[in-house]
Every structure is written in structure tokens, then in C-alpha cells.
A and B are shown apart, each in its own frame.
Chain A
Amino acid sequence: MSCTQTIIDYGLRSLGYGARLLPKTEFTLCQHFTLIGSGMLWNIYFGAVALLIGFIIANGVALAKASPRATIRKPAEWFILIFRGSPLFIQFFLAYFIFLRLKQKGILPWLTAAQVGALVVLILNTAAYSAEIFYGALRSIPKGEVEAADAYGLSGWNKFIRIIWPTTMRLAWPAYVNEAIFLFHATTLVFFSGFPAWQQRGDALYYARYFADKTFNPFVAYPILAFYFILLTLVIIGLFGIINKRLNRHLPKDARPRLRYRPQIIR
């Protein structure tokens, strides 16, 4: 079987198009690359959507945590504590079984599907981690900037959207890149945590593990997976770098904070 044929058969296998049966014999390099790459589509979907929605929620939660009123602050603190203090793996399991229970009662049955249920967990999880980053940035805004805003007569929404929020983003961005990278890495947990891979439509790690189990040879499938993830990481750093440039466009070139990939967190 030629490689083009393999790509036609398995290129979109993770979404349910193309050949139904996964390869059973003579696992070629081409099959490895195609299927694992096909699975990456899921990782990108989970990561990108969760990041986008999580970003919006995180802003709200960070503001709530900085609020002087306890009725607003306490729930935000608890939200962050629960999602940052427990393993994502357990969160996936717990959410799945809760969704399963709801489904039996006929409430929101589609939540048990990975593409919705796991996404919800990822959104809440990244919202909590990002909120902590944004909260930290919010606390370290230079006093002078806020005073300058007051001096110009800015207040309320205007002060927030013109002064406080842009500065928060500027300060938080280098840390937020790492959060984004780790969110994408964390998407590999989805299909190992209860959420079923319907008709073997899994993510990259799902297929990599399939190959490693079938060939009993971890030295091919996992390095390919690593290759894809390093590529994805570089793309994320590139995209975030562009935004970082825009955020700091008022600064001279060498005074702009540089984005550094500093992997510190696993979940």
C-alpha cells in the first residue's frame, strides 16, 4: 500500500472518515505518522477551544478573586483551589461519572461524549490555572499607572479596559504561554480517563499507544508523538510571540519581555 493511499485512508480517521479498521499487520512508518497526526486533530481541537473559552472565564475569575467583597472573592478562591489542587486525571474521571449519572436521569446526555464533556473539564481547569496567573499579574500592576489613570479622570470601565487590563495581559503573557503549552499537553489525558474513544476515534496518544501495544516497540510511536508535540509547541510559542509583540508595541525593541518556554507544571 502506498503512502498516499495510507494518508487518504487514515488522514481523517480520528474524525471518522476513511478506512474503518485500524491497521492490523505490518505497521509502516507512514501509518504511524498518518494516524498519530490524525489524532493530533483532537488535541488541537481540545486545546484551542478550551484555551479560548477558558481565557474569557479566567479573566472573570481573576477579577473576582481580586474583589474586596468576600461574597465574590470566596467562590473564586474555592474554584481555583479545587481545580488547581487536584489532579486533572481525577477531575476527568469524576466529571465523567457525574455526567454518566446525569445521563441516566435524562439530563444533558451529550455531556458523556468526550468532545463535549472532556472539553468542559479542560475549560474549567485552564480557567483556574490562568485565573491564578492573571490574578498575580493584576496584583503586580505598577501603582503609578493606576494613579496616572486617576489623574486623567479615568474611572470604572474606561480605566479597566484602557489601563488595567492591557497591563495585566502584558505582565501575565510570558507565564500564560506556558499554561497554554501545558494545556495542549494535558489534552492527551482525555481518552485515558473514562471518556470513551467512540469507534476508536482517539487523540494522538491514543493511536501512539495503539501502535506501541501492537508492535510492543515504544521506540517508534512515542518519538513520533514527541515530534508532533514539539512542532505544536513551537507553533504556540510563535503565535503567542506575535501577540506579545503587539502587547508591547509601545516599548523599544530590546526592552520587550521575551517569551521563554519554561515548562514547570504538569497536572
Chain B
Amino acid sequence: MGVYKIFSFCSDPSALASFAWLSCYLTTGKHFLFYYSFGTVLGLLAITGPTALIFGFGGAILAQSQLFLLRWIGKAYISIVRGVPDIAFFLFFVIALDQGFEWLRHQAFCPNWSEPIRQGSDFIVCKAAKLPLGTAEQYVHEIYGFFTAVLTFTIVFGAFAANVIHGAMRAVPKAQIETGQSYGMNKRQIFWRILVPQMWIYALPGLSNLWMVLIKATPLLFLLGIEDIVYWARELGGTQLAKFSAYPHGDLRMYYFLFLMVFYLAFTKISEVILERLTKRLSHGQGILGSDA
């Protein structure tokens, strides 16, 4: 990547004074990749938040199902994911999902394949089953990597959300359900018209907590091989020699990570304020502590 110029005076960085040097340095092409990677993190949060909520809702419905098998699946999903260090799950799912998809495609596309898929320490599927295909463009690989990361986050945080929602469903006062029954509603009607609208206020504190946790889990993207803010902070902050860079500098990683720290602190603080307001609004008129009515 050549010297990327936003300001015209940036053409000869070695001749610049410190302030001008900094403004040129912070607008190099690589720094823009760094700034875009904040978008990656926000994108991950924007997608994972709702999808994890859907997973959590599904898990909670399963966990209180009448059928033994469904209930068992829901409860197993919730308790297994919560019992193990999350980072182990992140590392596990990314490979496991990848291999799972390739295995499924292998079964579908290459039914005549006779060799075993696991040969010693290799995982071999036919060419047509590779994900993404070996011929695919670079950006397809990047999108696929992001997709598996999102799916991993969704599975892990879905389990946590399922736990919260499951608890919230049971916290809705019994009398409300009984009122529904006395009006002659069937189970489905009671569930959708009484239980679901009322459970959110009980779920909100847990879900707010989960959102904060989700924000704080985003640096783990780095471990999943995504070029996220941690990756770029390490890359850009590391010592640059004059031989390879127009902007040689010593080890600046400390400052880059200080910046990330401030970013996360601001983000969690803002979220906290917004969620607090939301809780206040939702609890308006509910007969519980902390509401006005």
C-alpha cells in the first residue's frame, strides 16, 4: 500500500513537524482499515444482539415445553454453554461449525466419495464441498469468517439470553395466567397475549446485563481470526522501521490499547444510561418496585 494522501502536505512525511506528522500518520490507508474495523465490531453487535435474542426466545420456549425431549434439548443447550469458559466455546465453535458445514455439503455434493474424511490429523472433504470454495474471492472468505463468528456469538449468547427469558417467563404473576384461563383463552393465546408481553419487564435487567457482557466480549473476535480493532491496534502500534514504512515509529501499542479502553468505557457507559432509561419507561405503571405507579 503506497502513501495514501488525505492532506496534500503529506507527500513527504519525513519533513513534517510533529502535529502535521500526526495528522498525516492518522490518515494513512491502514489507519482507515483500523477505523473501519470499529464498524465490524458495531456490525457484529447489531447482528448478534437481535439474533441472540431470537435464539434465547427459542431456547426458553424449548426449556418449558410440554414434550420431554424438547424440554431436555432446551435445558441442555442452556446449561452446557453456561458451564464452560466462554472463550473455549468461541475457539471450539469456529472450527466445529466450519467442519460441520463442510461435512454436510460433502454428504450432499459428493455422495460417491469413498475415502474417510478424517485421515489422521487431516480433515478432508471433496473440492466442491469446501467453504468458501477455493476459487472464491478474498472478500467472500472474509464474509464467511465474519458469518461463523456471528453464529458463534449468537449460539453462546443465545444460551445466556434463554436463561434470562426462561426466568422472566416464570416470574410473570400466576394470577395473570389464571385470568387468561378464566376468559377462556387456550394455551397459545395465553402465551402470546399474556405471557410474552408481560415478561419483558422481568427480562430487562438480565438482558441489559447481557448486552454489557456482549460488548465486553467483542475483543474475542480477534481470537476467531477476524481483523478487528485488537488486530489493527497490534499491527499499527508495533514498531515500524523506516525501511518498510513512511512513518517510522517506536512501540506505540500502549497508546492504541489505551484508545480501545476509552472506546469500550464510553460504549458501556452510554449503553448503561440508555438501558436505565428504557427500564424506567417499561416499568411505568407496572406494580413492582422501582415503578412510579
Contact = CB atoms under 8 A, between A and B. Distances in A.
A86 B260 CA distance: 9
A9 to B, nearest CB: 20
B240 interface: no
Contact of A90 (B83, B118, B257): B257
Given A81-B265, A212-B95, A264-B160, A97 B88 contact: no
Given A90-B264, A263-B83, A214 B121 contact: yes
A27 B121 CA distance: 9
In this complex, the interface size class of chain B, counting residues with CB under 8 Å from chain A, is: 35 or more
Contact of B257 (A93, A226, A229, A263): A93
A101 B215 CA distance: 28
Contact of A87 (B84, B88, B217, B254): B217
A156 to B, nearest CB: 34
B261 A216 contact: no
Contact of A192 (B96, B209, B215, B223): B223
A89 interface: yes
A197 B22 CA distance: 35
A91 B264 CA distance: 11
Contacts of A93: 230, 233-234, 253, 257, 260
A67 B264 CA distance: 28
A86 B85 contact: no
A266 B123 CA distance: 32
A39 to B, nearest CB: 12
B264 A87 contact: yes
A105 to B, nearest CB: 12
A265 B92 contact: no
Say whether chain B's binding surface is mostly helix, strand, loop, or mixed: helix
B37 to A, nearest CB: 14
A188 B88 contact: yes
Interface in B252-268: 253-254, 257-258, 260-261, 264-265, 268
A216 B123 CA distance: 7
Contact of A86 (B209, B210, B265): B265
B83 A266 contact: no
B122 interface: yes
Contacts of B210: 264
Say whether chain A's binding surface is mostly helix, strand, loop, or mixed: helix
B96 A219 contact: yes
Nearest to B82: A263
Given A85-B268, A265-B209, A189 B254 contact: no
Given A226-B83, A266-B216, 19 more contacts: A82-B261, A85-B268, A86-B264, A87-B219, A89-B222, A97-B237, A97-B257, A101-B254, A188-B85, A189-B87, A205-B85, A208-B91, A212-B91, A217-B118, A218-B99, A222-B92, A229-B88, A233-B83, A265-B213
13 contacts: A81-B269, A85-B268, A87-B264, A94-B257, A186-B85, A192-B87, A212-B91, A212-B95, A216-B121, A218-B96, A222-B92, A229-B84, A267-B217
Interface of B: 82-88, 91-92, 95-96, 99, 118, 121-123, 160, 163, 206, 209-210, 213, 215-220, 222-223, 230, 233-234, 237, 251, 253-254, 257-258, 260-261, 264-265, 268-269
